[in-house]
Structure 1
Amino acid sequence: MPLDFFYRYFVEPIELGYGYNPVNTLAYALLFVSLTYLLFVFLKKSGIKTDKRFVLAVAPWIIFGILLRILEDMGIISGYLFVTPNIWLLFVFLINSLLVASKLIEKKYKIPYYKIMFISGVMFSGPLLGFFNIQNALGLWYVLLWLVPWLIVLKMVKWPVENKIVTALHLFDATTTFVSLQYFNYFEQHVLPRTIIELTGTPFSFVVVKLIVVVAVLNILDRYSDDKEFTNYLKIMIGVLGFVTGLRDLLRLVLLV
């Protein structure tokens, strides 16, 4: 039955907290791709360029979403609205609405939209930090120990800066996953990383595979995409993926949740 299927593959994993399965992973991936394209169309029609100002505008709101997600992990807040992917569907709507509102304010009062977004995002995110106390500083040091060499290599490589940033964000995510699994007995919830790790027998394989995939995707975009604006947008979205999962995993690690 359709309802039984939906409950088994989409609701039950959230209720029981045992992670993702191939069905909901594919569905969420298709949803992400669709929303990514629709968001680009929306931004283009709204006259919002996907540049540094756009990143500055949305970054604190993405962090706000991550902090709310961690508060749910900690049990401080609860509900289907605050779990993945629901919370990010909410934030896609929220950020789009804020972009529209800030552009209207910009038009009327000549205040740059990205400043409105950035300041308001910081105002909402800042107070949530009061809920967090570091419980596992060792985990943070392990992440830095494994991540810094990658960053040094990236610094030395001759490659576009935006590609280095996107790659660094995904190395941050993969390294945090590796440290969490290797040293602190966390469980990988996502299907693909879990499969890679099970096949190879080591969490470090996820770092290597992710690095190869991200570098390949970025090189393909640079080589074959003729639309520079769309290419920049895709790079931002790819970077956001690494940042969101990496920061959440790091916070869970240092907070031991």
Structure 2
Amino acid sequence: MIDRILEFIDNYYIQPIVQDAGYNPVNTITWAILLVIFLFISLKILQKLEIKLDRGFIYSLVPFIFIGSGLRVVEDAGVVHEPLNYLLITPLIYFLVAFITLLVLVVVSFSRKKEFIEGSQNKTVFIVGCILALFLTIYLSYIAVGSQHTRLSIPFEIIVVTLTITGLAYIIARWANYKILLDNMYLLIFGSHIFDASSTFVGIERLGATEKHVLPAYLIELTGTAGVMFPLKILVILTVIWLVDSVFKEGKEEDVELKTLVLLAILVLGLAPAIRNTLRLTLGV
């Protein structure tokens, strides 16, 4: 019985990380459950630190999303070896970046209480994140210089597709007075998932990349085109942000804080893979 349990854990959880084989239905559901648990734990930690959870908090953490994606690409490039490279593979990379982010938040919170720093907490966190992201960008640029497969046109193609579809969605939303997409935060989240779809589309259709997530991989195989990612993302993300906007009403402080973390998680799930895909395709790794 114990041998079967260990074999199950090895097949569905350990090997997908060790082999960087992507997702299967079992670990996908498990990681989703762990994400929900992690959100509640994070909420309690941030409340203890007396960190205000608002939209400014979400914007301040955008550089850390880039850091997570950039570190993932460093692993893709093969410059980090076993066993440290396992920390840079999904889902462990999410926990690593969350730890780094929480560490920065703790230091900033402590420094403000001791009056070591002045000004907005969110602004300070954003600046620290940008500095760390700059060092990572320099290192990624070093990898790009040494790569023979760098494709500088790829990010422009992906960005053009992203801005075109997001822009059209915004124009339609204004015409139809669809207030959800007229909200800056929801539009950012929508755009981040279109960014993800665009990077997947360009990677598969132009460069022969493969999709590792279970449902998208199935639909791409079923339809024969990565273009299916666009209607899939639009349908899913509009439904999700509508549900979040409906369930979490403004008023009760804890509901507002939990809503902030949920929106952050949704943003990360779109923006993180989008940045990783774009960097990876650009560097050819």
Structure-1-length-normalised TM-score: 0.91
Name which of structure 1's ranges 143-152 and 190-199 shifts more when overlaid on structure 2: 143-152
Residue among 74, 77, 80 paired with 1:77: 80
User: Given the superposition, is the C-alpha separation of residues 83 and 49 from structure 1 closer, same or farther in structure 2, using an over 3 Å criterion?
Assistant: same
User: Given the superposition, is the C-alpha separation of residues 208 and 96 from structure 1 closer, same or farther in structure 2, using an over 3 Å criterion?
Assistant: same
| Mapped partners of 1:67, 1:198: distance in 2 | 28
The correspondence of residues 47-86 of structure 1 with structure 2, limited to 5 A, is: 47-78=50-81, 79-86=85-92
Which residue number in structure 1 is paired with residue 104 of structure 2?
A: 98
| Mapped partners of 1:245, 1:200: distance in 2 | 22
| 1:172 counterpart SS class | helix
Which residue number in structure 1 is paired with residue 199 of structure 2?
A: 176
Matched, 1:254 2:282: yes
Q: Which aligned runs of 4 or more in structure 1 are off by greater than 4 angstroms?
A: none
User: Given the superposition, is the C-alpha separation of residues 147 and 57 from structure 1 closer, same or farther in structure 2, using an over 3 Å criterion?
Assistant: closer
| 1:17 counterpart SS class | coil
Considering only aligned residues, what root-mean-square deviation do their CA atoms show, in Å?
A: 1.9
Deviation at 1:148, TM superposition (A): 2.4
Unaligned runs of 5+ in 1: none
Residue among 181, 201, 211 paired with 1:188: 211
Q: Any conservation in 2 of the 1:60–1:122 contact (CA below 8 Å)?
A: yes
Structure-2-length-normalised TM-score: 0.83
Q: Paired residues, what number?
A: 257
Q: Identity over the aligned pairs, expressed in percent?
A: 31
Deviation at 1:185, TM superposition (A): 0.3
Deviations 1:66-90 (A, max 9, x none): 2111111001123211211112112
Deviation at 1:56, TM superposition (A): 4.0
Matched, 1:120 2:120: no
Name which of structure 1's ranges 50-59 and 161-170 shifts more when overlaid on structure 2: 50-59
Matched, 1:245 2:273: yes
Residue among 92, 95, 104 paired with 1:89: 95
Unaligned runs of 5+ in 2: 175-181, 250-254
Matched, 1:209 2:224: no
Name which of structure 1's ranges 153-162 and 175-184 shifts more when overlaid on structure 2: 153-162
Residue among 23, 26, 35 paired with 2:26: 23
Deviation at 1:198, TM superposition (A): 1.7
Q: Any conservation in 1 of the 2:43–2:257 contact (CA below 8 Å)?
A: no
Which residue number in structure 2 is paired with residue 148 of structure 1?
A: 163
The residue type equivalent to 1:246 in the other structure is: A
The residue type equivalent to 1:153 in the other structure is: L
Deviation at 1:139, TM superposition (A): 2.1
Deviation at 1:212, TM superposition (A): 0.7
Q: Any conservation in 2 of the 1:147–1:175 contact (CA below 8 Å)?
A: yes
User: Given the superposition, is the C-alpha separation of residues 47 and 66 from structure 1 closer, same or farther in structure 2, using an over 3 Å criterion?
Assistant: same
| 1:212 counterpart SS class | helix
Q: Any conservation in 1 of the 2:220–2:226 contact (CA below 8 Å)?
A: yes
Matched, 1:163 2:191: no
Deviation at 1:169, TM superposition (A): 0.6
| Mapped partners of 2:170, 2:65: distance in 1 | 26
| 1:186 counterpart SS class | coil
The residue type equivalent to 2:96 in the other structure is: L
| Mapped partners of 2:268, 2:59: distance in 1 | 12
The residue type equivalent to 1:70 in the other structure is: V
